[in-house]
Amino acid sequence: MTLEQLRDESLRLYVCKSIDDTSDLLSFFADYLLLTIKNLEIATVQSVSDNEARRLINQMILTKVLHIKQLICGVSYQSIQGITLPILIDPTVVAALIRNVYETVGLFNLVYISPKTEDEKTIVYNLWVIAGLKYRQTFDFIANSKESIDKIKNEETQILNLIKEIEDTLLYKSLTEPNTKKIKRKIKDKDYKIAFNYNNIQLLSWQDLTNVMGIKNGSLDKIYTYFSLYSHPSNVSVFQFGSLYKDNDFLGMTNFNLQNLLILLSVFIADYIRLFPKVLSIYEGLPLINQIALNTHNRGFRGEEYSINDSYKILG
């Protein structure tokens, strides 16, 4: 590939004017994620929490990419009466899946990237685990076997142990009472979205995670609300649905949704390499166009300091 061809292809995969262009870039993401999964031993880890990040969250992102890639091929149907439905895509279904990607990428950054100390990581990670276990405890009424009842009891003990781990950290012990109350509130609310500003705790919502991820200039500040609006049968989403299939408007809305997905995936790959630096060797073994394309949205929306490497500089 000549330099001019590389520039043209890089621009095409950055702008992604069409769903076909976006699908091509999603293939780049899928190929890279699959390579990292196949070569998991490169990024060996000791802790259970880091192993979850290394293995499970990476696999979850891959499956979401593959499902979305399949979904945007569209669906059609012919009934037994011979009624034919032309190929179409439901942008609200795409939005729901991308919202889940937002939550997964945001979770990864919040739990594994943003903490500046081991104590911060312990507190946020434990809050995350506690939230999941406490939500599962709400289904204790359906436990009807000894195994299920024992599991509930074991999880109750696990929750208490996780809370104790939080309270035993030097960071927790150094917090003011208003800040420890914030942590207790998150435990009660079955939530974990907090950030540390020195020894002050900021309570976060899903919308706030774009700032936590380092996405600049308010580029995605409202995107979670947008995806939530179209993931639910809100008045707006229901009535807009009526006009989506006139003049193929569903194609434009789908591709807009996908543009935001590309940013999130690019951010995730950069964060994953940051957490597991040895994986950089896999990334740098990719063709140059793949390296540039996978990094371009991350670099464009977070800045040069977040760039995975400097392969893009060949473009001039």
The residue-averaged pLDDT of 229-255 equals: 84
pLDDT band at 235 (very low <50, low <70, confident <90, very high): confident
Instruction: Please list, in sequence order, all residues whose beta carbon lies within 8 angstroms of the beta carbon of residue 214, skipping any fewer than 6 positions away.
Output: 267, 302, 303, 306
Segment among 40-44, 261-265, 267-271, 281-285 with least mean pLDDT: 40-44
Residue 217, pLDDT score:
84
Q: What is the mean pLDDT of the chain?
A: 92
Which pLDDT tens digit goes with each residue over 73-124?
999 999 999 999 889 999 999 999 999 999 999 999 999 999 999 999 999 9
Segment among 143-152, 215-224, 257-266 with least mean pLDDT: 143-152
Q: Which residue has the higher pLDDT, 230 or 284?
A: 284
Reduced to 3 states (helix: H, G, I; strand: E, B; else coil), residue 307 is: coil
pLDDT at residue 152 is higher than 90? no
Residue 52, pLDDT score:
85
The residue-averaged pLDDT of 275-295 equals: 96
Which pLDDT tens digit goes with each residue over 42-55?
877 778 888 888 88
Reduced to 3 states (helix: H, G, I; strand: E, B; else coil), residue 138 is: coil
Instruction: Please list, in sequence order, all residues whose beta carbon lies within 8 angstroms of the beta carbon of residue 140, skipping any fewer than 6 positions away.
Output: 152
Residue 144, pLDDT score:
65
Q: Could you tell me the two tokens for 291?
A: 């390296």
Place of tokens 């049968």: 233
Phi, psi of 84, rounded to the nearest 5 degrees? -110, 130
The most distant pair of C-alpha atoms in the chain lies apart, rounded to whole Å, by 71
pLDDT at residue 176 is higher than 70? yes
Give, for 76, the enclosing helix (H) or strand (E): strand 75-78
Closest CA to 230 of 208, 253, 211, 249: 253
Residue 239, pLDDT score:
77
pLDDT at residue 192 is higher than 90? yes
Q: How many CA atoms lie within 13 A of 33 on its CB side?
A: 24
Q: Could you tell me the two tokens for 5?
A: 């061809």
